[in-house]
Amino acid sequence: MIKTKIIATLGPATTKAENIKTLIDSGVNVFRLNFSHGSLEEHADLLNTINHLRSRSSHTLAVMGDLCGPKIRTSQIEHSQTTSHGGPERRGNPGLKKDDEVVIIPNIETGTINRFGTNYEHFNRDVQPGARVLIDDGLIELRVIGKDDNQTICKVIVGGFIQSHKGINLPDTKVSTPSITERDWECVAWAVEHQLDYLALSFVRSAEEINHLKKHLRDQGSPIKIISKIEKPEAIENLKDIVYASNAVLVARGDLGVEMDLAQVPLIQKRITKLCRRLGKPVIVATQMLQSMIEAPVPTRAEVSDVANAIMDF
């Protein structure tokens, strides 16, 4: 039995039965349905295909639903120049420049590169002067210089081309919203109805959040197991309690690398895997394991070493 398993996220390129079967034949053990994208109806179609294929396969397969959590994003952003197909044009439009001022206003639907909104309604309440605001996996860095009751004013530290609906990270801010949103509860109900095997809980900060979801599942009579995603600094502070409360743990290196010093992430990965081994909990290492293979037929040497090190840590 191979102890190291492979998790594959299904997306637009892998919706057809023949593509999913190829993944199964190649050794995938768990399929991930990302609730951040697509409708529940689309996920149901994918799940029907998976169930049909795994009923005919001797290969053991599980399905994991990944809850969105309180993902903070930019609003729709209008650009002064567009391409012929309507997308933003980078040439001649550099976007935000160092020392520019940016105004962020919660809940406005459409804005400009210097005045835009966010889907997080408590943004202005939670952030404080001096805090960093990172956009698009940290490619753009802002710093809060002031705010009033309706808006937050930031100075651009690292500029760049800003686009609509990109993720916002707040590494210096304790976000007040709960880890499980109203949308997540809809997805939990769907997962119970469709008998998924695992639910991944995003932006976990404490064991209490895990126990809250586990109690809800028990009350529904559901055997779904909880995978806690470690992607916030607060989770590192409460790591042992979180691992104890979880059925499995996922090291979300992408968000960790934005929320804290990137150089700490490899050490945190090893710390988490060591603790999970000691406590007998499965642990998943995620983000950019084979990133270059989006465009290249073979991985880089660095990616091969990264995967090998993760396996040896287990």
Q: Which residues are catalytic?
A: 32, 73, 229, 287
Contact predicate 24/51, CB 8 Å:
no
Instruction: Identify which of 213, 199, 211, 231 has the alpha carbon closest to the alpha carbon of residue 72.
Output: 231
CA–CA gap between residue 264 and residue 247 (Å, rounded): 25
Q: What residues are paired with 94 via a beta bridge? A: none
Tokens representing 139 are: 């490619």
Contact predicate 153/127, CB 8 Å:
no
If 0-12 CB within 10 Å is exposed, 13-18 middle and 19+ buried, where does residue 267 land? exposed
DSSP code of 16?
S
- Give the three-class secondary structure for 8: strand
- Give the three-class secondary structure for 208: helix
- Give the three-class secondary structure for 7: strand
If 0-12 CB within 10 Å is exposed, 13-18 middle and 19+ buried, where does residue 247 land? middle
